[in-house]
Amino acid sequence: MPNDAPRAHAGHESLYGSPGGARRGCVSGPGANLGPGARWRHQDQEEKARRLRSAFVAMYGEDAGCGEILVVRAPGRVNLIGEHTDYNEGFVLPAAIDRDVTIAVRGRRDGIVRVHSLNYGESVKFALDHISYDHDHPWSNYVRGTLKVLADSGAPLRGMDMVVAGDVPAGAGLSSSAALEVATAVAARAVAGFDLEGRDMALKCQRAENSFVGVNCGIMDQFASVLGKAGHALFIDCRTYECEPVPLPEEYCIVICDSGVRRGLQDSAYNLRCSQCEEAVRLLRRHIADIRTLRDVLPEELPDVERRLPEALRARARHVVLENDRVERSVDALRSGRVDEFGRLMVDSHASLRDLYEVSCPELDAMVEVALAIPGVAGARMTGAGFGGCTVNLVHEDAVDEFQRTVLARYLCKVNPSRLSLEPQVYVCRAEDGAGVVPLQPCERDKGQRVPPPPGAVF
């Protein structure tokens, strides 16, 4: 997602890990050789929430007479297959992951919102009745935009004090911005007590990113963050908004490889790809009266469709049409336990994104090539908008340790280090539940004692 969401940089990890930026070859996840900061990332969700609550007390005080301190979370997501289909009203298959944006929040008696970002070490303050774009603190625009959309829709918002922390790598294609938007919406709902069901929440968060931040994203990121289910991917129809959980194979792990290459959606060709798809549909309407988006083109209709489009639009349309078909075939394969078939579809998806949609880059291609050469890898592909970011790999649990030991070393032998903005990393993830309030049980530590931060934390 946009690289002005909470991001990884020197000293950024705060509540979730050690400062000083990423380390070459750093891995996180089950079986990894983790330092104390990385181990924190996988501690119990309630313990993480307690530490964020402690940071909130340090920032704003224990009792302002405005209600209890709540902690909410919203996960990032990895898209297993179905790339650049969401804004074409097609099909996608993401999974919410166990990396998230967490917010400690308390209501206020006035209409003021104060937000402190632990990732940035910055604070902002604004009024709910005058929400404007902040060029000096662009990370805050995901919070501002979400609250503005909620206010414009008539939600009875309250002023809030908020402390935000996140460990979703920004610019990596894991939806850090959607996680921040969704966490903000959950926080606002929890504080003010208004009704906002999951799909409506996701759509309002998407509108915030489209209209306030200025990125023409589809619905996938916000839907996955709101509606994710542990142990499952989420099959989403981006036209009807119907969602179905799809069980993931228990003996395989989702392993995300961060290439270290970063891009911002506004500065990339993302919006150009959106407009190219719209232009292809405009041209096809001369011959296909009932076409609304490229989702309406079937694979068997491609020969006729392609001869009516110029070369670039022909390639974009071919990717979208066949990618939708791959998603449907993937859902069937996963439900039937045909993991190898799903893996082959992942590989085909990457080739299409590289050759037809032209959103890959040499580093992503190298990471996929290296991964597929390691035994136990069923499939690999770039994930996210492209032009940098991450690959997603389906790795048998018995092969995860070997994968972690070898993939980055082989990758770094194939790429130009000067092109890397950050150190490449590997994240072993699990499919996680969607956003919500983190329940906190009373304990002795809450009685006037401050909970110490994790080792190396920055507050």
Q: Are 204 and 147 in contact (CB under 8 A)?
A: no
pLDDT at position 454 is 36
pLDDT at position 284 is 96
pLDDT band (50, 70, 90) for residue 268: low
Distance of alpha carbon 360 from alpha carbon 355, whole angstroms: 8
The residues carrying an active-site annotation are 221
Q: What percent of the chain has pLDDT over 70?
A: 85
Q: Which of 105-119, 127-141, 314-328, 441-455 has the lowest mean pLDDT?
A: 441-455
CATH of 254-429, one of 3.40.50.1110, 3.40.50.1000, 3.30.70.890, 3.40.190.10: 3.30.70.890
pLDDT at 308 over 50: yes
Residue with tokens 């690959």: 391
Q: Which of 59-73, 134-148, 347-361, 396-410 has the lowest mean pLDDT?
A: 59-73
pLDDT at position 289 is 84
pLDDT band (50, 70, 90) for residue 264: low
Distance of alpha carbon 239 from alpha carbon 271, whole angstroms: 19
Q: Which of 60-69, 204-213, 388-397, 403-412 has the lowest mean pLDDT?
A: 60-69
Q: What is the pLDDT of residues 293-305, one digit of tens each?
A: 999 999 999 999 9
Higher pLDDT, 324 or 270: 324
Residue range 118-140: average pLDDT?
96
pLDDT at position 62 is 86
Distance of alpha carbon 159 from alpha carbon 55, whole angstroms: 19
pLDDT at 262 over 70: yes
Q: What is the pLDDT of residues 377-431, one digit of tens each?
A: 999 999 988 889 999 999 999 999 999 999 999 999 999 999 999 999 999 999 9
Task: Write down the domain spans for the chain.
Answer: 41-249, 254-429
Residue range 143-158: average pLDDT?
98
pLDDT at position 292 is 96
pLDDT at position 24 is 26
Q: What is the pLDDT of residues 22-36, one digit of tens each?
A: 322 233 332 232 222
Pairing state between β 112-117 and 160-166: parallel
DSSP of 266-319, one letter per residue? TTTTHHHHHHHHHHHHHHHTTT-TT--SGGG--GGGHHHHHTTS-HHHHHHHHH
The most confident of the ranges 61-70, 322-331, 418-427 is 322-331
Q: Is the fold of 41-249 the same as that of 254-429?
A: no
Q: Are 173 and 367 in contact (CB under 8 A)?
A: no
- Does domain 41-249 fall under CATH 3.30.230.10? My reply is yes
Q: What percent of the chain has pLDDT over 90?
A: 75
Residue range 247-264: average pLDDT?
92
Residue range 102-128: average pLDDT?
97
Q: What is the average pLDDT score of the chain? A: 86
pLDDT band (50, 70, 90) for residue 140: very high
**What is the widest separation between alpha-carbon atoms in the chain?**
72
Q: What is the pLDDT of residues 77-91, one digit of tens each?
A: 999 999 999 999 999
pTM: 0.84
The three-state (H, E, C) secondary structure of 381-416, written as one string: EEECCCCCCEEEEEEEHHHHHHHHHHHHHHHHCCCC
pLDDT at 2 over 60: no
